[in-house]
Amino acid sequence: MLVLVAPGQGAQTPGFLTDWLALPGAADRVAAWSEAIGLDLAHYGTKADADEIRDTSVAQPLLVAAGLLSAAALGDISEIAPGAVAGHSVGEITASAFAGVLDDTAALALVRKRGLAMAEAAAVTETGMSALLGGDPEVSVAHLEKLGLTPANVNGAGQIVAAGTMEQLAALNEDKPEGVRKVVPLKVAGAFHTHHMAPAVDKLAEAAKALTPADPKVTYVSNKDGQAVASGTEVLERLVGQVANPVRWDRCMETFQELGVTALIEVCPGGTLTGLAKRALPGVQTLALKTPADLDAARELVAEHAQQA
Protein backbone atom coordinates (compact mmCIF):
# COMPACT_ATOMS: atom_id res chain seq x y z
CA MET A 1 0.00 0.00 0.00
CA LEU A 2 1.22 3.47 -0.94
CA VAL A 3 1.01 6.41 1.47
CA LEU A 4 1.24 10.00 0.20
CA VAL A 5 2.50 12.53 2.77
CA ALA A 6 3.14 16.28 2.91
CA PRO A 7 5.86 18.00 4.98
CA GLY A 8 5.47 20.84 7.44
CA GLN A 9 7.12 24.18 8.08
CA GLY A 10 10.90 24.26 8.06
CA ALA A 11 11.16 22.09 4.93
CA GLN A 12 11.28 25.14 2.64
CA THR A 13 14.57 26.38 1.14
CA PRO A 14 15.29 29.38 -1.11
CA GLY A 15 14.43 28.75 -4.76
CA PHE A 16 12.91 25.31 -4.17
CA LEU A 17 9.93 26.00 -6.46
CA THR A 18 12.01 27.14 -9.46
CA ASP A 19 12.23 23.85 -11.36
CA TRP A 20 8.61 22.96 -10.65
CA LEU A 21 7.39 26.19 -12.23
CA ALA A 22 9.09 25.20 -15.49
CA LEU A 23 6.67 22.27 -15.93
CA PRO A 24 3.82 22.73 -18.45
CA GLY A 25 0.94 24.67 -16.93
CA ALA A 26 2.59 25.04 -13.52
CA ALA A 27 3.29 28.78 -13.72
CA ASP A 28 -0.31 29.50 -14.73
CA ARG A 29 -1.66 27.38 -11.89
CA VAL A 30 0.54 29.08 -9.32
CA ALA A 31 -0.35 32.51 -10.72
CA ALA A 32 -4.06 31.73 -10.26
CA TRP A 33 -3.47 30.55 -6.69
CA SER A 34 -1.40 33.67 -5.97
CA GLU A 35 -4.18 35.93 -7.16
CA ALA A 36 -6.76 34.02 -5.14
CA ILE A 37 -4.89 34.41 -1.83
CA GLY A 38 -3.11 37.72 -2.41
CA LEU A 39 0.43 36.36 -2.16
CA ASP A 40 3.03 36.08 -4.93
CA LEU A 41 3.88 32.41 -4.51
CA ALA A 42 6.15 32.32 -7.57
CA HIS A 43 8.30 35.14 -6.21
CA TYR A 44 8.65 33.58 -2.78
CA GLY A 45 9.32 30.13 -4.23
CA THR A 46 12.03 31.30 -6.62
CA LYS A 47 13.62 34.62 -5.61
CA ALA A 48 13.05 35.14 -1.88
CA ASP A 49 15.84 34.51 0.61
CA ALA A 50 15.77 32.24 3.64
CA ASP A 51 14.58 34.95 6.02
CA GLU A 52 11.68 35.93 3.77
CA ILE A 53 10.38 32.38 3.48
CA ARG A 54 10.88 31.77 7.18
CA ASP A 55 7.99 34.19 7.75
CA THR A 56 5.10 32.02 8.87
CA SER A 57 2.55 33.89 6.78
CA VAL A 58 4.63 33.14 3.67
CA ALA A 59 6.06 29.71 4.45
CA GLN A 60 2.75 27.98 5.10
CA PRO A 61 0.92 28.80 1.83
CA LEU A 62 4.18 28.27 -0.06
CA LEU A 63 4.52 24.75 1.33
CA VAL A 64 0.93 23.83 0.55
CA ALA A 65 1.24 25.20 -2.98
CA ALA A 66 4.44 23.22 -3.53
CA GLY A 67 2.83 20.04 -2.27
CA LEU A 68 -0.22 20.44 -4.49
CA LEU A 69 1.89 21.35 -7.53
CA SER A 70 4.28 18.42 -7.17
CA ALA A 71 1.47 15.93 -6.57
CA ALA A 72 -0.36 17.19 -9.67
CA ALA A 73 2.83 16.69 -11.68
CA LEU A 74 2.94 13.11 -10.45
CA GLY A 75 -0.63 12.50 -11.59
CA ASP A 76 -4.27 12.84 -10.67
CA ILE A 77 -4.99 11.49 -7.19
CA SER A 78 -7.09 8.72 -8.79
CA GLU A 79 -4.00 7.72 -10.79
CA ILE A 80 -1.68 7.86 -7.79
CA ALA A 81 -4.35 5.95 -5.84
CA PRO A 82 -2.75 6.09 -2.40
CA GLY A 83 -4.11 3.84 0.30
CA ALA A 84 -3.76 6.72 2.78
CA VAL A 85 -2.71 10.37 2.95
CA ALA A 86 -1.35 12.44 5.83
CA GLY A 87 0.53 15.65 6.49
CA HIS A 88 2.85 16.97 9.17
CA SER A 89 1.53 20.17 10.78
CA VAL A 90 0.59 22.55 7.94
CA GLY A 91 1.04 19.58 5.58
CA GLU A 92 -2.30 18.35 6.90
CA ILE A 93 -3.98 21.04 4.81
CA THR A 94 -2.17 19.72 1.74
CA ALA A 95 -3.31 16.20 2.65
CA SER A 96 -6.90 17.40 3.07
CA ALA A 97 -6.81 18.48 -0.57
CA PHE A 98 -5.34 15.11 -1.62
CA ALA A 99 -8.25 13.42 0.16
CA GLY A 100 -10.82 15.68 -1.52
CA VAL A 101 -11.93 17.27 1.76
CA LEU A 102 -11.04 20.72 0.39
CA ASP A 103 -10.34 21.77 -3.19
CA ASP A 104 -6.97 23.35 -3.96
CA THR A 105 -8.20 26.94 -3.80
CA ALA A 106 -10.04 26.40 -0.52
CA ALA A 107 -6.98 24.71 0.98
CA LEU A 108 -4.77 27.63 -0.01
CA ALA A 109 -7.27 30.20 1.26
CA LEU A 110 -7.38 28.39 4.61
CA VAL A 111 -3.61 28.08 4.91
CA ARG A 112 -3.15 31.75 4.04
CA LYS A 113 -5.39 32.69 6.96
CA ARG A 114 -3.68 30.10 9.15
CA GLY A 115 -0.25 31.54 8.41
CA LEU A 116 -1.34 35.10 9.10
CA ALA A 117 -3.07 34.15 12.34
CA MET A 118 -0.12 32.11 13.58
CA ALA A 119 2.36 34.85 12.63
CA GLU A 120 0.31 37.32 14.64
CA ALA A 121 0.22 34.96 17.62
CA ALA A 122 3.97 34.35 17.35
CA ALA A 123 4.66 38.11 17.44
CA VAL A 124 3.32 38.39 21.00
CA THR A 125 6.30 36.61 22.58
CA GLU A 126 9.67 35.64 21.05
CA THR A 127 9.41 31.89 20.71
CA GLY A 128 10.82 29.07 18.63
CA MET A 129 11.34 25.34 18.22
CA SER A 130 14.28 22.95 18.45
CA ALA A 131 14.60 19.29 17.49
CA LEU A 132 15.99 16.79 19.98
CA LEU A 133 17.86 13.95 18.28
CA GLY A 134 18.16 10.67 20.14
CA GLY A 135 17.27 9.81 23.70
CA ASP A 136 14.34 8.09 25.35
CA PRO A 137 11.01 9.84 24.55
CA GLU A 138 9.63 9.53 28.09
CA VAL A 139 12.81 10.92 29.62
CA SER A 140 12.94 13.76 27.08
CA VAL A 141 9.29 14.75 27.54
CA ALA A 142 9.66 14.88 31.34
CA HIS A 143 12.80 16.99 30.98
CA LEU A 144 11.10 19.42 28.58
CA GLU A 145 8.17 19.87 30.91
CA LYS A 146 10.60 20.61 33.77
CA LEU A 147 12.05 23.43 31.65
CA GLY A 148 8.57 24.75 30.81
CA LEU A 149 8.82 23.59 27.20
CA THR A 150 6.18 21.72 25.18
CA PRO A 151 6.90 18.52 23.22
CA ALA A 152 5.18 20.08 20.20
CA ASN A 153 6.10 17.40 17.66
CA VAL A 154 6.56 13.78 18.71
CA ASN A 155 7.95 12.54 15.42
CA GLY A 156 9.10 9.02 16.23
CA ALA A 157 12.42 7.60 15.03
CA GLY A 158 14.17 9.19 18.01
CA GLN A 159 13.03 12.76 17.32
CA ILE A 160 11.01 15.16 19.47
CA VAL A 161 10.60 18.87 18.77
CA ALA A 162 10.51 21.20 21.75
CA ALA A 163 8.74 24.55 21.60
CA GLY A 164 8.67 27.55 23.91
CA THR A 165 10.29 30.89 24.61
CA MET A 166 13.81 31.62 23.41
CA GLU A 167 14.96 31.68 27.04
CA GLN A 168 13.52 28.21 27.62
CA LEU A 169 15.15 26.92 24.43
CA ALA A 170 18.48 28.42 25.50
CA ALA A 171 18.17 26.56 28.80
CA LEU A 172 17.50 23.36 26.87
CA ASN A 173 20.63 23.87 24.83
CA GLU A 174 22.64 24.09 28.05
CA ASP A 175 20.79 21.25 29.76
CA LYS A 176 19.91 18.49 27.29
CA PRO A 177 17.89 15.45 28.38
CA GLU A 178 19.92 12.35 29.14
CA GLY A 179 20.72 10.42 25.95
CA VAL A 180 19.95 13.28 23.53
CA ARG A 181 22.81 13.61 21.04
CA LYS A 182 22.01 17.03 19.68
CA VAL A 183 19.57 19.95 19.92
CA VAL A 184 18.93 21.60 16.53
CA PRO A 185 17.10 24.96 16.21
CA LEU A 186 14.43 24.86 13.49
CA LYS A 187 13.77 27.37 10.71
CA VAL A 188 10.41 28.46 12.10
CA ALA A 189 9.23 31.74 13.57
CA GLY A 190 7.27 30.64 16.62
CA ALA A 191 6.33 27.96 19.12
CA PHE A 192 3.79 26.19 16.96
CA HIS A 193 1.45 23.54 18.37
CA THR A 194 1.60 25.03 21.86
CA HIS A 195 -0.51 27.32 24.02
CA HIS A 196 1.33 30.26 22.43
CA MET A 197 -0.79 29.66 19.31
CA ALA A 198 -4.14 29.70 21.13
CA PRO A 199 -5.10 33.15 19.71
CA ALA A 200 -4.83 31.72 16.18
CA VAL A 201 -7.38 28.98 16.86
CA ASP A 202 -10.36 31.35 17.09
CA LYS A 203 -9.39 33.14 13.89
CA LEU A 204 -8.97 29.87 12.03
CA ALA A 205 -12.29 28.59 13.35
CA GLU A 206 -13.97 31.70 11.96
CA ALA A 207 -12.29 31.17 8.57
CA ALA A 208 -13.36 27.53 8.54
CA LYS A 209 -17.03 28.53 8.80
CA ALA A 210 -16.90 29.68 5.17
CA LEU A 211 -15.80 26.26 3.94
CA THR A 212 -17.90 23.23 3.01
CA PRO A 213 -15.73 20.16 3.54
CA ALA A 214 -16.41 16.86 1.78
CA ASP A 215 -15.80 13.49 3.37
CA PRO A 216 -12.36 12.06 2.50
CA LYS A 217 -12.24 9.93 -0.64
CA VAL A 218 -8.96 8.42 0.58
CA THR A 219 -8.06 7.27 4.10
CA TYR A 220 -7.03 10.45 5.91
CA VAL A 221 -4.70 9.95 8.87
CA SER A 222 -4.76 12.79 11.40
CA ASN A 223 -1.59 13.84 13.17
CA LYS A 224 -3.55 14.74 16.28
CA ASP A 225 -3.56 11.08 17.31
CA GLY A 226 -2.75 8.98 14.24
CA GLN A 227 -6.39 8.03 13.75
CA ALA A 228 -8.09 7.69 10.37
CA VAL A 229 -10.85 10.30 10.10
CA ALA A 230 -13.82 9.57 7.83
CA SER A 231 -15.78 12.82 8.26
CA GLY A 232 -14.86 15.97 6.35
CA THR A 233 -16.36 18.09 9.11
CA GLU A 234 -14.13 16.41 11.67
CA VAL A 235 -11.07 16.80 9.45
CA LEU A 236 -11.73 20.54 9.30
CA GLU A 237 -12.25 20.74 13.06
CA ARG A 238 -8.92 18.99 13.59
CA LEU A 239 -7.17 21.34 11.15
CA VAL A 240 -8.37 24.24 13.27
CA GLY A 241 -7.45 22.73 16.64
CA GLN A 242 -4.05 21.35 15.68
CA VAL A 243 -2.35 24.75 15.53
CA ALA A 244 -2.28 24.82 19.35
CA ASN A 245 -1.89 21.07 19.98
CA PRO A 246 1.07 18.70 19.56
CA VAL A 247 1.72 16.79 16.34
CA ARG A 248 1.90 13.01 16.86
CA TRP A 249 3.67 11.90 13.71
CA ASP A 250 4.89 8.83 15.58
CA ARG A 251 1.29 7.63 15.81
CA CYS A 252 0.68 8.39 12.14
CA MET A 253 3.55 6.08 11.21
CA GLU A 254 2.17 3.41 13.54
CA THR A 255 -1.15 3.68 11.69
CA PHE A 256 0.59 3.43 8.30
CA GLN A 257 2.16 0.22 9.52
CA GLU A 258 -1.18 -1.16 10.71
CA LEU A 259 -2.71 -0.33 7.33
CA GLY A 260 0.01 -2.31 5.57
CA VAL A 261 2.19 0.42 4.09
CA THR A 262 4.76 -0.79 1.55
CA ALA A 263 5.80 2.55 0.03
CA LEU A 264 5.74 6.21 1.04
CA ILE A 265 6.06 9.25 -1.23
CA GLU A 266 6.64 12.70 0.28
CA VAL A 267 5.61 15.63 -1.90
CA CYS A 268 7.77 18.72 -2.45
CA PRO A 269 9.79 19.88 -0.55
CA GLY A 270 10.34 16.28 0.45
CA GLY A 271 13.01 14.82 2.69
CA THR A 272 12.03 15.24 6.34
CA LEU A 273 9.22 12.69 6.51
CA THR A 274 10.98 10.14 4.30
CA GLY A 275 13.96 10.43 6.66
CA LEU A 276 11.72 9.60 9.64
CA ALA A 277 10.09 6.73 7.74
CA LYS A 278 13.44 5.18 6.84
CA ARG A 279 14.21 4.87 10.54
CA ALA A 280 10.74 4.02 11.88
CA LEU A 281 9.34 1.90 9.01
CA PRO A 282 12.10 -0.53 7.97
CA GLY A 283 11.38 -2.33 4.73
CA VAL A 284 9.08 0.41 3.42
CA GLN A 285 10.25 2.00 0.18
CA THR A 286 10.45 5.78 0.43
CA LEU A 287 10.82 8.58 -2.10
CA ALA A 288 11.01 12.34 -1.62
CA LEU A 289 9.87 14.67 -4.40
CA LYS A 290 12.56 17.34 -4.26
CA THR A 291 12.73 18.34 -7.94
CA PRO A 292 10.91 17.25 -11.12
CA ALA A 293 13.86 14.92 -11.74
CA ASP A 294 12.32 12.67 -9.06
CA LEU A 295 9.02 12.23 -10.91
CA ASP A 296 9.98 9.24 -13.06
CA ALA A 297 11.14 7.23 -10.04
CA ALA A 298 8.00 8.26 -8.19
CA ARG A 299 5.78 7.08 -11.04
CA GLU A 300 7.55 3.72 -11.00
CA LEU A 301 6.93 3.46 -7.26
CA VAL A 302 3.26 4.37 -7.77
CA ALA A 303 2.90 1.67 -10.41
CA GLU A 304 4.41 -0.92 -8.08
CA HIS A 305 2.52 -0.08 -4.89
CA ALA A 306 -0.59 2.00 -5.54
CA GLN A 307 -4.02 0.58 -4.86
CA GLN A 308 -7.55 1.82 -5.25
CA ALA A 309 -8.59 3.38 -1.97
Q: What is the mean pLDDT of residues 216-222?
A: 98
Structural domains in the chain?
A: 2-122+194-302 (3.40.366.10), 127-185 (3.30.70.250)
Q: Would you state the pLDDT for residue 189?
A: 80
Q: Would you state the pLDDT for residue 188?
A: 82
Distance CA 43, CA 15 (A): 9
Q: What mean pLDDT, rounded, does the chain reach?
A: 95
- Angstrom CA distances, 179 to 121, 267, 301, stand at 33, 32, 37
Residue 157 in this model has a pLDDT that exceeds 90: no
Q: For residue 163, report the phi and psi dihedrals to the nearest 5 degrees.
A: -140, 145
Q: What is the DSSP letter of 189?
A: S
Residue 171 exposed, middle or buried by CB count within 10 Å (0-12, 13-18, 19+): middle
The vertex-10 CA angle with 305 and 36, nearest 5°, equals 85
- Angstrom CA distances, 25 to 32, 69, 90, 110, 296, stand at 11, 10, 25, 23, 18
Q: Would you state the pLDDT for residue 186?
A: 87
Residue 307 in this model has a pLDDT that exceeds 60: no
Nearest to 69 by CA among 16, 42, 30: 30
Q: Would you state the pLDDT for residue 309?
A: 38
> Does residue 183 contact residue 159 with C-beta atoms inside 8 Å?
no
Q: Would you state the pLDDT for residue 268?
A: 98
Interval 7-60: pLDDT, tens = 999 899 999 999 999 999 999 999 999 999 999 999 999 999 999 999 999 999
Q: What is the mean pLDDT of residues 116-129?
A: 93
With bands split at pLDDT 50, 70 and 90, how would you rate the model's confidence at 187?
confident
Distance CA 116, CA 195 (A): 17
Q: What is the mean pLDDT of residues 97-108?
A: 98
Q: What is the mean pLDDT of residues 264-288?
A: 96
Q: Would you state the pLDDT for residue 66?
A: 98
CA–centroid distance for 227 within its chain:
16
Distance CA 72, CA 20 (A): 11
Q: Would you state the pLDDT for residue 169?
A: 96
Residue 308 in this model has a pLDDT that exceeds 70: no
Q: What is the mean pLDDT of residues 269-286?
A: 96
> Does residue 191 contact residue 129 with C-beta atoms inside 8 Å?
yes
Active-site residue numbers? 89, 193
Q: Would you state the pLDDT for residue 306?
A: 67
Q: Would you state the pLDDT for residue 277?
A: 96
Q: Would you state the pLDDT for residue 104?
A: 97
Q: What percent of the chain has pLDDT over 70?
A: 99
pTM of structure: 0.94
Nearest to 227 by CA among 205, 259, 264: 259
Distance CA 96, CA 23 (A): 24
Q: What is the mean pLDDT of residues 284-292?
A: 98
Q: What percent of the chain has pLDDT over 90?
A: 93
> Does residue 157 contact residue 163 with C-beta atoms inside 8 Å?
no
